[in-house]
Amino acid sequence: MALRFTLSSPSPSLQPPLLHSPPPLKFLTLPLNLNLFTYSTTRSLRLSSTRRLPAVTASVSSVEATGTNGTDSGKKRPLLEVKDLTAVIAESKQEILKGVNVVVYEGEVHAIMGKNGSGKSTFSKVLAGHPDYEVTGGSVVFKGESLLDMEPEERSLAGLFMSFQSPVEIPGVNNIDFLNMAYNARRRKLGLPELGPIEFYAYLFPKLELVNMKSDFLNRNVNEGFSGGERKRNEILQLAVLGAELAILDEIDSGLDIDALQDVAKAVNGMLTPKNAVLMITHYLRLLEFIKPTFIHIMENGRIVKTGDISIAKTLEKEGYKAISAT
């Protein structure tokens, strides 16, 4: 049975949507793609509300170290530590990643740039556990635990969020039910009680305002008939709802006009705290003008070959990758 709840709000565009009691996760099969609960059309995952997951807890204390980014990170905790990561395409065994090294600490924003085919998106997909890629060497540690030992949905429950270039549609599942299920799965992982429909909407309402979305959007099926800008906003809404500790944004600026880009950037900036971090993949300086990076990494031929500040992106904008390769 559908219930309609009315909250006192001066804005008619933000009237609450129809809320449904979401089906138990164990009865819902989703393709694995959205925010790691769903991923690729070639594989599906039956999410179970009763499945016991291995403990994924932070075991790394505050550190005093100089990371591979070349700066003293003080007493910040490393969220992501990638060392000598190599990976191939699972089917053809073609090597794509050839020794990636990077450390992302709490409170940092990292951007990865590079030519098409340099390995940027492959790197993000490997972090997400995409079945099309096979890790052949190296290590990836997330909050002190081996990320490579986790299934994709376990990575999400542990606090990793992945935003894809082209999110898939999920026919028959509306946004509010999907978000409610995903959020409650995260709360169960953290040992917190689930939120019912009324409580969840009270939590969700300010997130809608953060990404500049109307509440009627929530009754639409996930990404079904969405424009490119709506899909990107939907990705960021998921990020806002789940409260992930590390967000990986793969070309979140792709296909966005300036207004949509500003909305997305404002939402991402609004979620940044000293305890979380963002890893962005982009081709363009304009995104970095709205979301200020701590570090910019240049990827070439499956490796990070240069790390610096915003000046690297400005050089690329003016002179192209030839100028970077020559330095």
**Where are any strands of DSSP class E within 8-131?**
18-19, 29-32, 39-46, 78-89, 95-105, 109-113
pLDDT tens digits for range 65-79:
334 454 455 578 999
The span from the CA of 209 to the CA of 98, in Å, is 42
Specify the pLDDT at position 300. Answer: 95
In a domain, 17, yes or no: no
| C-beta of residue 140 within 8 angstroms of C-beta of residue 186 | no
In a domain, 57, yes or no: no
| C-beta of residue 179 within 8 angstroms of C-beta of residue 237 | yes
Domain count of the chain?
Answer: 1
- Over residues 35-46, the mean pLDDT reads 37
In a domain, 15, yes or no: no
pLDDT tens digits for range 246-282:
999 999 888 888 988 998 999 899 999 999 999 999 9
For residue 127, give its domain range: 23-47+75-326
In a domain, 265, yes or no: yes
In a domain, 66, yes or no: no
Q: Give the pLDDT band (50/70/90) at residue 105.
A: very high
Identify the CA nearest to 248 among candidates 230, 236, 233, 266: 236
The span from the CA of 136 to the CA of 117, in Å, is 19
Q: What is the separation of C-alpha 66 from the centre of its chain, rounded to a whole number of angstroms?
A: 26
**Who wins on pLDDT, 114 or 260?**
114
- Classify residue 142 by its DSSP letter: E
| C-beta of residue 255 within 8 angstroms of C-beta of residue 164 | no
The span from the CA of 79 to the CA of 40, in Å, is 26
List the Cα angle 99/103/105 in 5-degree steps.
165
**Who wins on pLDDT, 292 or 51?**
292
Q: Looking at residue 318, which CATH number applies to its domain?
A: 3.40.50.300
Query: For the whole prediction, is pTM greater than 0.85?
Result: no
For the record, the structure tokens of 18 come out as 């129809």
In a domain, 67, yes or no: no
**Who wins on pLDDT, 234 or 24?**
234
